[in-house]
């Protein structure tokens, strides 16, 4: 075990006993923790992140999982959600929408300070939207509709749109829209600013240090607005890219939280029977869909028949069983089933594109790609070289190879993969898992709406269909009660055009030490967001 975590030895010397609170994607916990007692201050927790190379901690610039986990420590936003998805205030105490649905007015908390002691005002909110909105993968639908952004006074932020966008409020939760300090970034290149690696925020903890490849340390933010929180002295993120090493570290008591890969969940649940930690399913999670993006600007992927054949050639149920250990389901259409009021069951990939390699071969023959010397054509399949993406990609590679496609698998470091797929668009096919958040406007539209930019995790496929963009716009502007019909058309168009092949929708689990108190407040939140780590505390004998 010591050799496993040698890279984190500097962290583990911080304390001999530690514990952790919980998740960066939150959950409906079953039952409450009784007789916890009154929270006490003190202690350090150690959590494991699945990377040693994190290009930025600023989640206005990325939606990568390690950065999102860390942001829950140092960042905050205008609102969050309870376990039922009801909005709860954070830095905004209330909000109002004009009758025409175009103007949103937020009233902010007074007297709040940034972690460096400078005052937080509505100017910071306006600055964040104006300067970071173009980089935010979840705001690709909102930004073209922004008519005006203003801060008429220190505690009032006003957003005016050119036309209604029903999901607008969902775009301002603390995970999608973490607030950034104007006084730090103003007049600078926000995308390359050093503060992206040493953030100044509004969360319960403030950045202290980063030991490259080893750990990131945050300490109590004395300026935090929600007194007497936080209770912990510090939170340390151990950077451990190997999933087995992360699990071993938790079992051995060297770390106190990690997010097990789906292939590890059952083994982690078994190890949890000893009582030192527990595994919690994130019940009301945002949809996480494994997909294959196809570059429609390249041959032979320009051909719809080729794309149809590629979909028929993937045994998605095998991916569910082999990669996700049965803790997932096949994706049904472009609108995830978690959106119960918007998902139309009449569009079903299980029947439209059932696994049928013989049919796939015939379609490729018809498309002009018959077998020649055992091969039809060559494509590169690009993926981040971490689970579960790499395992998904290997199955796709194997099954496409079985119908005569020469598949070159390119497993890359995350930043190299991001540049290749989204900045350079130098790829044929790419495997990734995308999160849907609370509404299709946030995490689903970005895969299909025409995108000429290079924002990470926003449609890299070259798919630009005016018909679809019109339907997506109409769906986003329609009243909630009228949206389902629009999203049925939305799903039908994507099922026809297939710029992206949706494979699976997975469940999510967190493993957390039983020493930590205040867990209910952390787990009883939904849509991959929660108040923050401010609720967590350790009993004196566990510090």
Confirm if 49 and 238 have CB atoms less than 8 A apart: yes
The CA distance from 144 to 27, in Å, is 33
Please state the rounded mean pLDDT for residues 375-404.
Answer: 96
What would you measure as the largest C-alpha separation in the chain, in angstroms?
73
φ/ψ (deg, to 5) at 381: -110, 115
Q: Over the stretch 191-221, which tens digit does the pLDDT of each residue have? A: 999 999 999 999 999 999 999 999 999 999 9
Q: What is the pLDDT of residue 307?
A: 98
pTM: 0.82
Q: What is the pLDDT of residue 478?
A: 93
Confirm if 232 and 43 have CB atoms less than 8 A apart: yes
The structural domains of the chain, ordered by start, are 6-75+203-284+508-542 (3.40.190.10), 79-185 (3.90.76.10), 288-506 (3.10.105.10)
Q: What is the pLDDT of residue 50?
A: 87
User: Is the alpha carbon torsion for 454, 63, 140, 191 positive or negative?
Assistant: negative
Ranges 33-37, 43-47, 276-280: which has the least confidence:
33-37
Please state the rounded mean pLDDT for residues 426-446.
Answer: 92
Q: How far is CA 154 from the centre of its chain?
A: 31
Nearest to 159 by CA among 115, 101, 110: 101
Q: What is the pLDDT of residue 244?
A: 92
Which residue intervals of 81-176 are DSSP H helices?
A: 122-132
Long-range CB pairs of 67-72 (<8 Å, 24+ gap) are 68/24, 68/25, 68/175, 68/528, 69/24, 69/237, 69/259, 70/216, 70/218, 70/237, 71/24, 71/175, 71/178, 71/203, 72/24, 72/175, 72/203, 72/530, 72/532, 72/533
The CA distance from 300 to 296, in Å, is 8
| Position 462 pLDDT exceeds 50 | yes
Q: Over the stretch 487-537, which tens digit does the pLDDT of each residue have? A: 999 999 999 999 999 999 998 888 989 888 887 776 677 777 766 789 889
| Position 184 pLDDT exceeds 60 | yes
Confirm if 531 and 522 have CB atoms less than 8 A apart: yes
């Amino acid at each position: 075990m010591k050799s496993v975590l040698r890279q984190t030895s500097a962290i583990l010397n911080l304390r001999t006993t530690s514990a952790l609170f919980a998740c960066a994607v939150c959950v409906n916990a079953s039952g409450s923790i009784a007789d916890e007692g009154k929270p006490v201050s003190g202690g350090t927790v150690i959590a494991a992140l699945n990377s040693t190379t994190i290009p930025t901690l600023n989640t206005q610039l990325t939606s990568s999982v390690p950065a999102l986990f860390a942001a829950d420590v140092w960042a905050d936003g205008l609102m969050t959600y309870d376990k039922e998805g009801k909005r709860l205030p954070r830095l905004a105490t209330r909000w109002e929408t004009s009758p025409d649905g175009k103007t949103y007015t937020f009233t902010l908390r007074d007297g709040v300070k940034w972690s460096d002691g400078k005052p937080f005002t509505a100017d910071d909110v306006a600055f964040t939207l104006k300067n970071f909105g173009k980089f935010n993968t979840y705001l690709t639908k909102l930004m073209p509709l922004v008519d005006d952004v203003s801060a008429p006074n220190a505690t009032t932020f006003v957003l005016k749109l050119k036309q209604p966008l029903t999901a607008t409020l969902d775009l301002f939760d603390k995970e999608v829209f973490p607030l950034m300090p104007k006084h730090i970034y103003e007049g600078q290149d926000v995308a390359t600013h050093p503060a992206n690696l040493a953030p100044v925020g509004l969360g319960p903890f403030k950045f202290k240090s980063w030991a490259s490849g080893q750990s990131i340390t945050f300490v109590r933010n004395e300026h935090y607005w929600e007194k007497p929180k936080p209770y912990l002295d510090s939170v340390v993120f151990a950077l451990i890219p190997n999933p087995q090493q992360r699990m071993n570290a938790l079992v051995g008591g060297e770390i106190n939280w990690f997010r097990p890969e789906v292939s590890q969940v059952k083994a982690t649940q078994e190890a949890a029977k000893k009582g030192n930690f527990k595994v919690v399913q994130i019940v009301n999670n945002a949809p996480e869909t494994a997909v294959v993006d196809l570059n429609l600007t390249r041959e032979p992927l320009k051909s719809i028949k080729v794309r149809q054949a590629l979909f028929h050639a993937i045994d998605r149920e095998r991916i569910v069983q082999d990669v996700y250990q049965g803790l997932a389901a096949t994706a049904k259409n472009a609108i995830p089933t978690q959106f119960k009021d918007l998902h139309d069951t009449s569009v079903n990939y299980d029947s439209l594109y059932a696994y049928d390699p013989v049919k796939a071969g015939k379609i490729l023959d018809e498309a002009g790609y018959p077998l020649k010397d055992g091969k039809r054509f060559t494509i590169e399949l690009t993926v981040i070289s971490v689970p579960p993406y790499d395992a998904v990609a290997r199955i796709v590679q194997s099954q496409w190879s079985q119908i005569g496609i020469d598949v070159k698998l390119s497993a890359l470091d995350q930043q190299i993969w991001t540049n290749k797929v989204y900045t350079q668009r130098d790829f044929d096919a790419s495997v990734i898992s995308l999160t849907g958040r609370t509404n299709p406007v946030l995490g689903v539209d970005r895969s299909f709406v025409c995108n000429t930019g290079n924002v990470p995790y926003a449609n890299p496929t070259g798919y630009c269909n005016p018909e679809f963009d019109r339907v997506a716009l109409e769906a986003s502007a329609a009243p909630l009660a009228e949206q389902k019909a629009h999203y049925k058309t939305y799903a039908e168009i994507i099922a026809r055009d297939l710029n992206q092949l949706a494979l699976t929708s997975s469940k999510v689990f967190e493993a957390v030490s039983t020493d930590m108190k205040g867990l209910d407040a952390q787990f009883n939140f939904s849509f991959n967001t929660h108040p923050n780590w401010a609720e967590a505390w350790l009993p004196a004998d566990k510090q």
